[in-house]
Amino acid sequence: MSNRLINWYRFASPQAFYPLAGRMIPWFWVLAAVFGVIGLYIGFLVAPTDAQQGEGYRIIFLHVPASWMSMFIYVVMAFWAGLGLAFNFRLSGMMAQALAPTGALFAFLSLWTGALWGKPMWGTWWVWDARLTSELILLFLYVGFIALRSAIDDPRRADNASAVLALVGVVNVPIIYFSVKWWNTLHQGSSVSLTKSPSMATTMLWGMLFCALACWMYAIAVALMRVRTIMLERERNTEWVRAEIARGEAAEA
Amino acid sequence: MDWMYWNSFAEFIAMGTHGVYVWGSFIVMAVAMVAEPLLIVKGHRQLLARLRRQFRAEKSERGRATVRQTQNRLGVPSTPGTPSNSESKA
Amino acid sequence: MIAFVRAIVARDLRLAMRRRSDVVSALFFFIIVVSLFPLGVGPQPELLRTLAPGVLWVAALLATMLSLPRLFADDLRDGTLEQLLLAPQPLGLTVIGKVVAHWLVCGLPLALLAPVLGLQFDLPADGLKTLTLSLLIGTPALSGIGAIGAALTLGVRGSGVLLSLLVLPLYIPVLIFGAGAVDAVATGMASDAHLSLLGALALGGVFFAPWPTAAALRIALE
């Protein structure tokens, strides 16, 4: 037990995590590519058309995974942030920092694909639907997180302050979602929702599942890549970074 | 489950009447998901190069400092424009 | 404990009274923003009546934002904040006191001024009443949630804009229920549900938000 704890502590140090992440990244890329190809093959080539929505429904193979990821990443980010706040792990703040831009990107992609889905389905680019509105607010929360981080120069303070913000955000996301939903039903917005089709064919489900898995693997790979850069940058005055750079130079020479 | 739903490539591109929307989503998402890792790799390379330059500069700085120390100890007057100066720039 | 909170409130009120111009500017900002809307969208009474709840509430949010950076900045500058951090009382209580004082100086005047501005928008009497009530109930939440943002951006460069970036998304539920209450009355429905949800948010803002605020203050002063 204590042995395992020590192991965890070891990998929680940037020094040990940096090479480990470097070894894991290619595997996540491979998985992302494999799942992506399978998912897109099923979604775009095999799956039959949707009776009500026509071929435009295929956008959901992109839209739904992007929306899921934008939400998951926020929760994961808040989890890392909270861990950092509670136990003062150096790694957690860096992970939260590495996840934020990817989450924001997925939130943007979700809005973009949602708009392109809405135009043929609803006849308009934007509907004040509860989901779309919450997604927009989620993007604002990401932007706030990134802006707060980049405004604070001291990385430790930036870690802690943005962690508080992420936790406040994660408590608020459900409140915001339900208030927007309430507002939406009062204003009798759209009765159509994005994942409406009640009897989604199993083929479609499989396609969606693989696309979602591909996005997961992609997000992990990208976050690991970014966290490595952040580690080098922030630990540049330590011995291990010096050794790492020297080794890289020797390998290239 | 059929092997493929489409009859022709043109049909596939047309996506019924929704080609613009489907491919508009697909291309933007694909570009974003290719660009993000490329940007990260670029940033990582730049950081590595910067750190290398910095460490090398520090090393030669330290080297020069020791030379100066020994010179002082031996009582050799330090001359401006010695080769060690230009070396550190390389 | 209550005496301590009261002492903080009294102190902050005294300080605010010494700088009355800040309070008055925020109020005038509120008045000006609200008055701009009819000039922008036209003076048709029906249009203004439908716009009124949203416009007044959004203007109230913005006016609150304007006064937030002051919440802790002055105390940081003269060192009071450090003293409060070292005080034996929990920092959360101090924050509650400061939030209450902020509401008395900012939220309460906004709520009292709102019916006058509502007249410009041709709101009927019960609409004005609900507007005032919703602002009375909702503005404490604005002060409480805003305090988190104010503490997080304390002493950070470009803190004013950053503060609005952080806090405005968190204000959305308050805006929805606040403006929704007035809207409901205008369309002949009851506003009770909106007002009770608004009350829940206000309680959360005053009693829960001070704890993350306290954490943020500790981080800022580390």
**For residue A160, which residues of chain C lie inside 8 Å, CB to CB?**
219, 222
Angular region, C180: left φ>0, alpha ψ -120 to 50, beta rest: alpha
Rounded to whole angstroms, the Cα distance separating C134 from C199 reads 9
pLDDT band at A192 (very low <50, low <70, confident <90, very high): very low
With 80 as the cut, is the pLDDT of residue A197 above it?
no
pLDDT classification of C36: cutoffs 50, 70, 90: very high
Task: Give me the pLDDT at residue B90, please.
Answer: 36
- Crossing angle of helices A90-122/A130-151, nearest 10°? 150
DSSP one-letter string for A48-89: PPBTTTBGGGGGHHHHHHHHHHHHHHHHHHHHHHHHHHHH--
User: pLDDT: is B75 or C82 the higher one?
Assistant: C82
The tally of domains found in chain C comes to: 1
From the centroid of its chain, how far is CA A157? Answer: 23
Structure tokens at C212: 């993350």
Phi, psi of A90 (to 5 degrees): -65, -35
Judge whether A185 is closer than 8 Å to chain C, CB to CB.
no
User: In the predicted model, what is the mean pLDDT of chain A?
Assistant: 84
Domain membership of residue A174 as a residue range? 23-44+59-191+199-234
Q: How far apart are CA C103 and CA C209, in angstroms?
A: 14
Chains that touch B (3 or more CB pairs under 8 A): A
Q: How many CB pairs under 8 A join A and C?
A: 72
Ordered DSSP codes for chain B: --S-S-S-HHHHHHTTTTHHHHHHHHHHHHHHHHHHHHHHHHHHHHHHHHHHHHHHHHHHHHHHHHHHHHHHHHTPPPPTT-HHHHHHH-
pLDDT of residue A51: 66
Q: Once rounded to an integer, what is the mean pLDDT over residues C173-201?
A: 88
Can you give the pLDDT at residue C191? Answer: 81
Q: Select from A25, A59, A94, A108 the residue whose CB has the most chain B CBs within 10 Å, as the one to mutate to test that interface.
A: A59
| Contact residues for B8 (Cβ-Cβ < 8 A; gap 6+) | none
Question: Cα-atom radius of gyration of chain C, to the nearest Å?
Answer: 18
| Average pLDDT rounded to a whole number, residues A111-135 | 84
Lowest-pLDDT choice from A23-32, A43-52, C29-38: A43-52
Residue A242 pLDDT: 86
Identify the DSSP state of A129.
-
Spell out which residues of chain A touch residue C157, defining contact as CB-CB under 8 Å.
Answer: 151
Interface of A with C in 140-169 (CB under 8 A): 140-141, 143-144, 147-148, 151-152, 156-157, 160-161, 164-165, 167-169
CB contact under 8 A, A55 and B16: yes
Rounded distance between C-alpha atoms, residue C79 and residue A6, angstroms: 42
- Cα–Cα distance for residue pair C177/A183, rounded to 1 Å: 8
Cβ atoms of residues A168 and C170 within 8 Å:
yes
- pLDDT at position A228: 93
The minimum CA-CA distance between B71 and chain A, rounded to whole Å, is 29
Question: Does C148 sit within 8 Å of A157, measured CB to CB?
Answer: no
Task: Tell me which residues of chain A, numbers 53 to 92, contact chain C at a CB-CB cutoff of 8 Å.
Answer: 85
Cβ neighbors of C85 (< 8 A, separation 6 or more) are C91, C217, C218, C221
Q: Flag whether residue A180 sits within 8 Å of chain C, measured between CB atoms.
A: yes
pLDDT tops 70 at residue C77: yes
Nearest to A186 among C169, C180, C220 (CB): C180
What total of structural domains would you count in chain A?
Answer: 1
Domain, as residue range, for C73: 2-221
* pLDDT score of A5 more than 70: no
- Nearest C-alpha neighbor of C176 from the set A38, A128, B32, A156: A128
Residues contacting residue A77 through CB under 8 Å, at least 6 positions apart: A95, A96, A99, A100, A103, A145, A166
Least confident range of A76-85, B52-61, C169-178: B52-61
Average pLDDT over residues A132-140: 90
User: What is the spatial distance between Cα C37 and Cα C56, in angstroms, rounded to a whole number?
Assistant: 10
Residue of A168, A175, A176, A180 to mutate, testing the C interface (most C Cβ within 10 Å of its Cβ): A168
pLDDT of the residue at B12: 77
Rounded-to-10 torsion of CA A240, A242, A246, A249: 110
The whole-angstrom separation of Cα A198 and Cα A245 is 55
Where is pLDDT greater, at B45 or A251? B45
Instruction: Render pLDDT for A37-77 as a digit per residue (tens, 0 to 9).
Output: 998 888 888 777 776 777 778 888 899 899 999 999 999 99
Q: Give which of A38, A52, A55 to mutate to test B binding, by max B Cβ within 10 Å.
A: A55
Nearest to B21 among A47, A101, A119 (CB): A119
Model confidence pLDDT, tens digit, residues C95-143: 999 999 999 999 999 999 999 999 888 888 888 999 999 999 999 999 9
**Which of A108, A112, A229 has the CB atom closest to B44's CB atom?**
A229
Contact C169 A156 (CB under 8 A): no
Percent of chain B with pLDDT over 90: 27
Instruction: Quote the tokens at residue C48.
Output: 């203004």
- Cβ of A45 within 8 Å of Cβ of B5? The answer is yes
Chain-chain contact of C162 with A148 (C-beta, under 8 angstroms): yes
Residue with tokens 């929805």: C176
Gyration radius from chain B CA atoms? 30
- Is A128 within 8 Å of chain C by CB? no
CB atoms within 10 A of CB B90: 6
Model pLDDT, residue C64: 92
pLDDT tens readout for residues B75-89:
665 554 444 444 443
> Percent of chain C scored above 90 by pLDDT?
50
Q: A124 and chain B: CB distance < 8 Å anywhere?
A: no
Question: What is the C-alpha end-to-end distance of chain C, expressed in Å?
Answer: 26
Nearest chain B residue to A107 by CA: give it. Answer: B29
- ipTM greater than cut 0.85: yes
Q: Residue C123 and residue C126: Cα distance in Å, rounded?
A: 8
Say whether pLDDT at C45 is over 90: no
Task: Report the 10 Å Cβ neighbour count for C201.
Answer: 25
Question: pLDDT at position A191, please?
Answer: 43
**Domain residue ranges of chain B, discontinuous segments joined by +:** 37-66
B-chain residues within 8 Å CB-CB of A43?
none
**Residue C170 gets which letter from DSSP?**
G
Give the amino acid at A160: N
Using alpha carbons, list the distances in angstroms from residue C190 to A92, A181, C54, C174, C184. Answer: 48, 19, 18, 18, 6
Q: Does B36 touch chain A (CB under 8 A)?
A: yes
